[in-house]
Amino acid sequence: MRWFLHKLAMMFGAEPRKAGPEEETDAAREMKVFKKTKPEVEKRKALIADEHTHPVVRRKWRNRRWASIIIINGLFIVSFAWDVQLVEGSLSASRFLGFHMADPNAALQVFLAFREVVLNLVIGTVTVVALWWIVGGRAFCSWACPYHLLAEWAEAIHLWLHAKGWVKDHPFHRGLRLVLWVIFMLLAFLTGYTVFEYINPVGIVSRALIYGPTVAVIWVIFLLGIEIFFSRRFWCRYVCPIGLTYGITGAVAPVQVKYDLSKCLHEGECRKVCLVPHVLEITKMGYASDTTEFIGPDCTRCGLCIDVCPQDALSFTVRGLDKII
C-alpha cells in the first residue's frame, strides 16, 4: 500500500525513489542480487550492445494510438459535416448515439462556476469516467486527445533539433500541474466562468476540427512553439489539469502496463521515449519493489515503452487475469 501511495504521489509532483527495504519483496531482493553477479552483468552488457547494433523498431502501439485519435475525432467531424448525428458536440461535452458524455475536468468546472448540479452533465461525466477507468491512467491523453497527436509531432521536431544542438529542454517541476489545477478550479468558483476552457488546447483543437478554426488556434500554435523550441512536452507534462483528473479516476483501472524485473536490462530506452518518464523510474536497477509490478497511475498508456523494449519487460495486461493484451 505504501508503495502504491508513492506512485500516486508522483502524479502530484513527488520525486521518484527506490523501494525501501520494508516495501521490497524477498523475490525482488534476490533478483537484484542475482543481476549484480558477474556472469549476469556480462550477459546484460552483451545483450545491450547487441540491441544498439541491431535495434528493433516496432510501432504497433503508436500506430494504434494514432488511428484511435484520428477515428475518434473523425467521428465528430463527419457527424457535423454530414449531419448524421452520430456524435454531437466536441470532446469537452458530447452525445454519442444519444448517450451524454462529458469531460470530467470541464464538468467539475461547470459545477463550480454555476454552483449547481446538472443532471445531464452528471450522467455524461459518470459515463466518461467509467469508460476511461477501464483502460486506466491517462489513456484519454494518448488515445483520444487531438492536441496530444500534435504535441507528439512537435516532440519529434524538438528531439531532432536537440540532437543537432540547436535547442535545449527546460524542464519544470511536475507539481506545477497540481497548482494550476487548483487555480483553475478556484477561478471557476470565484468568477462563475470556466476560465480554463478559454485556453484549453484540447477543446480548441477539437472545436477547430469540427466547426472550423478561430483566432484561438494562434494560442495552440504558440504552445506547440514552446514545446518545439523550449520545453519538451510542456503542456502535457507540467500544465494540463485534464491529464491529472483522468489519472486520478484511472488509478486502479483493470488495464495496466506491467513491468517484469526478470526480463529488464535496465538500459533506459523506455524512459527516453516516455511522455512521463518518472513513472518508469522503477526500471532502473534497484528501484522496483517486486519482480512484477504495475506502472503508476500517471502513465498515459501510450505503449511507446512497450514498442521500444526488445526484451518485452513491459506489456499491457488486465489486472487480476494476468492476460497480456
- For the cut 90, the answer to whether the pLDDT of residue 324 exceeds it is no
Residues 7-23, mean pLDDT to the nearest whole number: 86
* 267-297 residue pLDDT tens: 888 999 998 999 999 999 888 899 998 998 8
Entry pTM = 0.90
CB atoms within 10 A of CB 50: 11
Q: How confident is the model at residue 306 (pLDDT cuts 50, 70, 90)?
A: very high
